Amino acid sequence: KFYRFPKDFWWGSATSAEQTEGKGNTGKGVTNWEHWYAIEPNRFFNGVGPEITSDFFNQYKEDIRLLKETGHNSFRMSISWSRLIPDGFGEVNEAAVEFYNNVINELIQNNIKPFVGLFHFDMPYIMQERGGWESREVIDAYVHYAKVCFELFGDRVANWFTFNEPIVPVEGGYLYDFHYPNIVDFKRAAQVAFGTVLAHAKTVKAFKRLNLQSKIGIVLNLTPSYPRGNNEHDLKAANYADLFFNRSFLDPCVKGAYPQELIELLKEYDQLPVYTEEDLQIIKENTVQLLGVNYYQPRRVKAKMYKANEESPFLPEWFFDPYEMPGRKINPHRGWEIYEKGIYDILINLRDNYRNIECFISENGMGVENEQRFIENGQVNDHYRIQFIKGHLKYVHQALKEGSNVKGYHLWTAMDNWSWMNGYKNRYGLIRVDLDSMERSIKKSGEFFQELNDNNGFE
């Protein structure tokens, strides 16, 4: 069977500034990651921080040539706030302007549509010190930074994105200890989450005023929550997980309002963030035009076996237990479940409950450890990645047939890059990066990707 995709389907991949650029000697300000690495290097896998990453800053020309060769017609990258405005809200760094101009122009010359994100986990440390997303001053500084980006690069960017997975810094930094400032405090987490949504909505507002041709969206990581069984208690548990981890961002960004159920719940436990009526109005009036969906794995839950200890810190886990479904398929490297149909369930949910918003798969991918063991005749033969991509694309195709408004598929990632806590442990790229020589080589999956674009589908 041949799976054919619509004409102009977006084939590409995603990257982020902090994970690919490397610091370079160009006046970039310090990010949370660089700060954390400087004070606690042992937290990072093999003690490797975000210094060099894949050196995109110096090698972007060669990399874009390889994007072309691997069938990209679109590509998502992010701008580093710390690089563009090193002190957060002041002077613009000309070296950064030149760099991003070069990259964007190079993409366009190669017929690759630039998709550009404004924030991919890389909070400027100076902004963190001023309170991060808990601070109104930081929110305004971010909106200013966004405007500078729109003015500088405007319509040369096909699609703009305010945030990548904004819930992850909330989880990592304020609940589960895997991002700086590694605090555990739900009420502050809720304030950070709210501050991000507000910063997002204010940015959409500023964007609309400019009347650009390009679109603005947000990228959310959606994790469908599946209950263990079809009984009231498990269903309730799954609903809680959905409220906390999906609808907390999806609803305000796409529907313009938080789920009433979530507000009631946080009120009951005295965890509601501080906000004004005016904030809610801004959120209401500035929903997105385009949604990027990052999908890696689902969340499986069951009813709580024991009531949460009221003395322990308040966490979403007060309302459900994780469920390790027997027989589920696990990627042994990253420990994440592989469940291809999840991508279909998300797209159908967006079709039915989120005004069938224009969307695309903005990240999906498979991290693999020690990938050099799959090198055959100088090339990584990553047949498992090709299977992974096909498995998910079949379900994207199915959703399309059933009326989903999905416009493309982007893999995480292009060139192997540095990952937040895991360094270079898991490789995700279509293109291998040799860390000693920094040389690039196209993997089997890169060739597959080229054919995918060429035929606009696969068998």
Peptide bond into 413 cis (omega under 30): yes
CB 277 to ligand BGP: min, Å: 33
Q: What is the DSSP string of 370-403?
A: TGGGGEETTEE--HHHHHHHHHHHHHHHHHHHTT
Least CB distance to ligand BGP at residue 221 (A): 6
- Evaluate the omega torsion of the peptide bond into residue 181 and state whether it is cis, within 30 degrees of 0: yes
User: Among 167, 214, 227, 45, which residue's Cα sits nearest to residue 175?
Assistant: 167
In the complex, what is the shortest distance from the CB of residue 335 to ligand BGP, in angstroms, rounded to a whole number? 10
In the bound state, the residue with its beta carbon closest to ligand BGP is: 419
User: To 5 degrees, how large is the angle CA 348–CA 350–CA 352?
Assistant: 70
When the beta carbons of 112 and 293 are compared against ligand BGP, the nearer one is: 293
Q: What is the DSSP string of 19-39?
A: HHS--TTS-PPPBHHHHHHHH
Give the pairing of strands 321-322 and 290-294: unpaired
> Smaller CB distance to ligand BGP: residue 367 or 446?
367
3-class secondary-structure state, position 191:
helix
Closest CA to 228 of 217, 241, 238: 238
Among candidate residues 125, 49, 119, 108, the one with its CA nearest the CA of residue 77: 119
User: Residue 232 CB, nearest distance to ligand BGP (Å)?
Assistant: 32
Cβ 101 to ligand BGP shortest distance, Å: 24
Q: Establish whether 363 is a catalytic residue.
A: yes
Nearer to ligand BGP (CB atom), residue 334 or residue 407: 334
* Three-state SS at 219: strand
CB of 2 to ligand BGP, least distance (A): 30
Which residues make up the interface to ligand BGP (CB under 6 A)? 16, 19, 164-165, 168, 221, 294, 334, 363, 367, 412, 419-420, 422, 426
Amino acid identity of residue 286, one-letter, is N
297 dihedral zone (left: phi>0; alpha: psi -120 to 50; beta): beta
Q: Which is nearer to ligand BGP, 318 or 336 (CB)?
A: 336
Task: Give the nearer residue to ligand BGP in terms of CB position, either 89 or 295.
Answer: 295
Residue 191 or 413 with smaller CB distance to ligand BGP: 413
Which one of 18, 21, 171, 363 is the catalytic residue?
363
Q: How far apart are CA 169 and CA 122, in angstroms?
A: 9
Residues labelled catalytic? 363
